[in-house]
Structure formats: structure tokens, C-alpha cells
Amino acid sequence: MRRTKIIATLGPATDRLEVLRDVIASGADVLRLNFSHDGWDVRYRRIEEARSMAGELGRCVGLLGDLQGPKVRIASFRNGTARLDDGAEFFLDPGLGHNAGDARGVGLNITTLSEDVVEGDTLLLDDGNVELSVSKIRGRRVHCRVVHGGVVSDHKGVNKLGGGLLSAPALTGEDCEDLKLAAKAGLDWIAVSFVRDGADIEAARQLIRASGGSAHIIAKIERSEALENLDEILDAADAVMVARGDLGIETGYEGLIGLQKSIIRRARDRHRVVITATQMMESMIDRPVPTRAEVSDVSNAVMDGSDAVMLSAESAVGEYASAAVAAMASICEGAEAWMPARNESSPVTEGDFQRVDEGIAKAAMYAANHMDVRAIAALTESGATALWMSRIRADIPIFALTRHTGTQRRVTLYRGVVPVAFDVTHTRPEELFRAVFECLRDAAGLKAGDLVIVTKGAIMGVSGHTDSMTVLQLEF
């Protein structure tokens, strides 16, 4: 069973229902809506189609909304593009008209760039494809020399090497409106872009809860400032995303993989879900098979301990959306086959446990790793028990049995966890274990004589009360 989860981004390609069906059937566990594109009329339709299609296929699929955030962008050019030649002079000026850009300069979507740069700073346009060196600042106009030129089109992003370009808060006015609508739409996860610190996460969480939503929050690590405040971000967020696009631009690509490994390790040590994203299968936008370098990239993210790996344009606009999902699933399985089944020396299993349910979850995983256990059944309300179990590496499937649809969808992002609909409040205590076994018999391929670990609470149906672990042998 594949343990690493796959996030696939919805877009024009998946608007064809046969493609959406194939993407889900090929193994997508979570579907992402990129709020940088389209309006809510399109998003509502995609949400409805995704949930309907998942239901038809008998799959439980989570939905993730990804906020646009306060990205610095240039304005537009008179002709849609401009060629910047090496050595030429070029300026960035927020006072320039929206469609007045040309090879001499272009407008901006913010007015504070001149306050955030000094002479000698390096600015990168279009994901680093064009490099500028700041030569002087006159008022709000920033004059630059083109170091590495190229063709630039409208609304491309602007980054500063080393970070520190944007002093604006992570949530824009548009993001706040999107958060409210995402909460009302019942999305399971919300990704906050360009997070600086834990306060950005708390602001998003308060707005979601005030709007009646229960979505968990993903902090996208793509600013240098986020690296400086990573521990407090991990404490505040439910998950983090290694967003390698802007992060690689700000920090330099040569250190990116080291940062990826560090972020994944620190996230797992603090019981947080972690996603690796950006250009993982980029060539499959217009090719039917991945490059060997992409196979290696995805494999390394899996071996590093990512809960999930993500497809962006590959599934949103690519010609081979379902093939990209299927290829990623196959790569994940191949990488997992080379990983050790046990990993009991990490900080996750060391030190004192803070809660009873945490202790039970980790005790269950320790026992499972030292016995011939075929499956683990965690009867859970919030999914917390399953999350703690998933932090300890094991090749034993963890089934999260829960009556809550929101919990079922949320655990689709947890590594090695399979959601199962199970209403414990309608099960008589003396028949509980038999009901669990019958529920899992087909899903886990169980047979007579197999060992199964079941965790549950004495007070059934109440969140946070998992307090017992039972090892049972199937007799039927």
C-alpha cells in the first residue's frame, strides 16, 4: 500500500470530467484549488464536481485551498512582453501606468519596493529567469542594470535574493475574503502563502473559525523570514509546505535541497504534516513520462519523510494529468520499498508524552513494529491519534475509523493513514471489535489468525479520550 499521499491541482485540464475521474482513480488523495487563478463561480463548480466524482469512485478525497498571498508582481507592458538585454538599464516604478511598460521600465503592484532594497541588491524576475542589480533609488523608482536578460511578460513575480523584499502581512484583503468563502465551502485544508511567523497562521485560523470553518492550516515556507521563524510557525500551523519555487529564488538554488531536508525533519519532529511541492513532474505538462531527474526528486522527497508530494501545472493544465498522478504514485511506491520499515530513534519517540492519547498512539506503533501485526485500527474523532501514529515510520497500514466526514477528508494528507467511515456511537460495546474487523476485512485483506492493534477510548465518541490499546487475533 502506498503510504505517501499525492496532491493534484485542479484546473482547465481537470474540468473535463473524464480527466478528473482518471486523476482521482489514478491515486490523487487531495485535490488543490489554486486561488491565484479563476473566481469563486469556477471554484464552487470544481468543488462540487470533485466531491461528486470521488463519491462515484468510492474514494475519500480531501480538498485544499491555496491562498494567493501578497506576491510582488510587475504590471503590464504595452505589447504584452519586453526583451531585456544584458547590460541595459531598467527601472521598476509603482507610479508607472498599468499598461505603460516597455524595455526601459515597468510598473509594480506595490509601492514599498524602494524601502526594501538598497544599491547592490539582486532582484529576480519570472522565477529567476531574469536577474537585475539595483543601481540607484530615486523616490519610489528603483533603477537597475540587467545582469541576465530575457523576455519578460505581464504580471511576472519579483523576488530579492536573500529575502526581505515584502513587508506586507501574509493575508491580503482578497485573501481574507477567500478565507471566508473557503470556510463556507467546507474546504479541509487552507494553505497560507508567504508566511512570515506564527502570527500569520493565527490570524488565518481565527478568520476561518469566525466564518464557521474547520479547515486545518498549511504554512507555505517560501520566504527567508519564514526560515528564521520556523519553530514558531510549526507550533502554530497544522502542516507546512516546502514551496520550493519562491524559496529557491530567495535562498539560492544551491542550498534548496538541504533546506528541504531540514524543514521535513523539523516538521516531523514536531508532529506536523509536511508537503514537498513545485516542479516535481514539470516535464509531464507536455510529455507522457517523467525525466529520470524528476523520478529522483520525488523519490528523495519520499525518503526524506514527506507526508505528501504535489502536482501543480502537471495536473491543472497538463496534457497528461492522470498519467502524471499514476507516475507519481508508482515512484512513491518504489521509493518506499527502499526505506526501512522502522524508525524508532527519532525525537518523536523520545522524551515525555504530553497527553494520554499521544502515549497510546506511540505505544501502539512500537508494539506494531515488534510484532507480526497486519493492521492498526485507530478509532478517532479528530484524527489526532492517527496523526501521531503516522509520525513513526512503519510499513503497517493505519486505518482511521471515524464517523466525521471532515476527519475522514483531513487524514487523507497523513502519511500511511487510510480513512474509514465508522460510527462508534452506533456500535454496541460487546460487538465493537467484531464490527471493526468486519469493517477492515476487505480494506486490509485480513484473514483468520492475523494480529490487529485497536486503539480507542473508554468514553467513546469524545475527542481526545483515546486511552487504551488492544492486540487481537482474528478468529474468523
> Catalytic residue at 2?
no
Query: Which of helix, strand or coil describes residue 220?
Result: strand
Report d(CA 307, CA 413) in Å as an integer: 7
Which residues make Cβ contacts (< 8 Å) with residue 140, sequence separation at least 6? 93, 94, 95, 111, 113, 114
Helix, strand, coil share of the chain (percent; to 5)? 40, 25, 35
Annotated catalytic residue within 2, 3, 5, 32: 32
d(CA 247, CA 176): 23
DSSP 102: B
CB neighbour burial string for 159-184, b if at least 16 within 10 angstroms, e if fewer: bbbebebbeeebbbeebeebbbbbbe
| Long-range contacts from 260-268, C-beta under 8 angstroms, 24+ separation | 260/301, 260/304, 261/304, 263/221, 263/230, 264/301, 264/304, 264/305, 264/306, 265/304, 265/305, 266/230, 266/231, 266/234, 267/234, 267/239, 267/240, 268/305, 268/346, 268/348, 268/391
Decide: 297 and 289 in contact? Cβ < 8 Å.
Answer: no
Specify the 3-state DSSP secondary structure of 173: helix
List 278, 407, 412, 455, catalytic entry: 278
Residue tagged 513587508 (cell numbers): 167
What cell numbers appear for 425 in the block?
Answer: 456511537
What is the grid cell recorded at 290?
A: 517523467
Instruction: Write the CB contacts of 148 (distance below 8 Å, at least 6 apart in sequence).
Output: 86, 130, 131
CA 321 to chain CA mean position, Å = 18
Q: Is 278 a catalytic residue?
A: yes
Residues 6+ apart with CB under 8 A from 310: 6, 7, 8, 9, 32, 241, 275, 276, 277, 278, 280
**3-state DSSP call for residue 4?**
coil
What does DSSP say about strands 141-148 and 89-92: parallel, antiparallel, or unpaired? Answer: antiparallel
Pick the catalytic residue: 21, 51, 59, 73? 73
Instruction: Kindly report the length of the chain.
Output: 476
User: Is 220 one of the annotated active-site residues of the chain?
Assistant: yes
Pairing of strands 150-153, 5-9: unpaired
**Catalytic member of 220, 393, 409, 415:** 220
Residues with catalytic roles: 32, 73, 220, 278
